[in-house]
């Protein structure tokens, strides 16, 4: 019986090994077919979506707030950057106090590259906030030891990049850190800090690897939704003028 199984296996292997190679069918490469731009519009479809289109347009053009000055993202302490960092701090602070972090949060960090455009002086409408923040980024709170938070200050020393901060002060001179404060105080290495940021940065985006040493606490809040809410709650924008990032003898870096 054993010899029969061996013989059957030998025959199967032989048949497989002797099988002729598969032929590859010839594929004709077709040219692209252009679609005329003057195709007739489907009037039934247009009529169906028109009410939704008008509703969306109405929402996008809704006034939220007003600014007496242009809100820009240029410079180490850009008024739009500082404003959105403050809004991130405020929204995350409220969430933290309502969700088991009695002391709230200690600071906020966002990236200037995530702010996609500026806001001209005048009325601020919903559409502009979607243009400023087109991404679906979520507000994250990073629980991190003071000793690990040193990486944040080292990051700014190395990059001297104008990524906006709130309740954080960083001053450098060349290759030295002169001042590094959280809420106006020196960082305590043994204390636990809570820093609000985006999920993109929390995962180490924009080379912020130091956040990986902390514990990520998701809030479920979208940054854009938070900004919409904050602008709506502040009919007249108040621009902060405090200096948060002060890079003396700054290296040749390019602000975004």
Report strand pairing: 215-222 vs 138-145: antiparallel
In a domain, 19, yes or no: no
| DSSP 8-state class, residue 71 | B
Say if 152 falls within a structural domain: yes
The pTM of the whole model exceeds 0.85: no
Could you give the residue ranges of the DSSP H alpha helices within the chain? 2-17, 43-60, 79-97, 126-132, 150-159, 199-202, 223-233
The half-sphere exposure of 31 on its side-chain side, counting CA atoms within 13 A, is 3
Residue 21 lies in a domain: no
Residue 20 lies in a domain: no
Asked whether residue 53 is domain-assigned, the answer is no
The enclosing domain of 233 has a CATH number of 3.90.780.10
Position 12 in a domain: no
**Pair of tokens at residue 70:** 């242009």
8 in a structural domain: no
> pLDDT truncated to tens, each residue of the chain (256 aa)?
444 443 344 444 444 444 444 444 454 555 565 555 566 667 676 556 655 555 556 689 999 999 999 999 999 999 999 999 999 999 999 999 999 999 999 999 999 999 999 999 999 999 999 999 999 999 999 999 999 999 999 999 999 999 999 999 999 999 999 999 999 999 999 999 999 999 999 999 999 999 999 999 999 999 999 999 999 999 999 999 899 999 999 876 555 5
SS3 category, 38: coil
H/E element, 196: strand 192-198
Does a structural domain hold residue 48?
Answer: no
Q: Give residue 154's domain range.
A: 58-248
Q: Considering its fold, how many domains does the chain have in total? A: 1
Cβ contacts of 159 within 8 Å, gap of 6 or more: 207, 253
């Amino acid at each position: 019986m054993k010899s029969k199984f061996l013989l059957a296996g030998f025959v199967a292997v032989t048949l497989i090994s002797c099988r002729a190679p598969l032929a590859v069918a010839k594929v004709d490469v077709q040219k692209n077919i252009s679609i005329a731009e003057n195709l007739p519009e489907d009037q039934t479809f247009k009529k169906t979506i028109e009410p939704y289109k008008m509703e969306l347009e109405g929402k996008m053009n809704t006034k939220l707030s007003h600014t007496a000055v242009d809100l820009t993202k240029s410079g180490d302490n850009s008024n739009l950057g500082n404003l959105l960092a403050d809004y991130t701090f405020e929204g995350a602070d409220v969430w933290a106090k309502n969700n088991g972090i009695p002391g709230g949060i200690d600071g906020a960090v966002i990236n200037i590259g995530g702010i996609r455009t500026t806001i001209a002086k005048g009325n601020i409408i919903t559409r502009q906030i979607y243009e400023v923040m087109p991404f679906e980024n979520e507000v994250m709170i990073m629980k991190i030891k003071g000793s690990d938070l040193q990486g944040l200050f080292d990051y700014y020393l190395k990059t001297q990049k104008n990524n906006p901060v709130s309740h954080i002060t960083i001053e450098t001179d060349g290759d030295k850190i002169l001042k590094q404060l959280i809420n106006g105080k020196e960082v305590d290495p043994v204390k636990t800090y809570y820093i609000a940021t985006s999920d993109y940065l929390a995962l180490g985006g924009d080379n912020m690897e130091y956040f990986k040493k902390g514990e990520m606490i998701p809030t479920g809040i979208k940054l854009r939704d938070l900004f919409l809410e904050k602008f709506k709650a502040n009919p007249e924008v108040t621009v902060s003028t405090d200096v948060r990032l002060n890079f003396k003898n700054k290296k040749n870096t390019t602000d975004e």
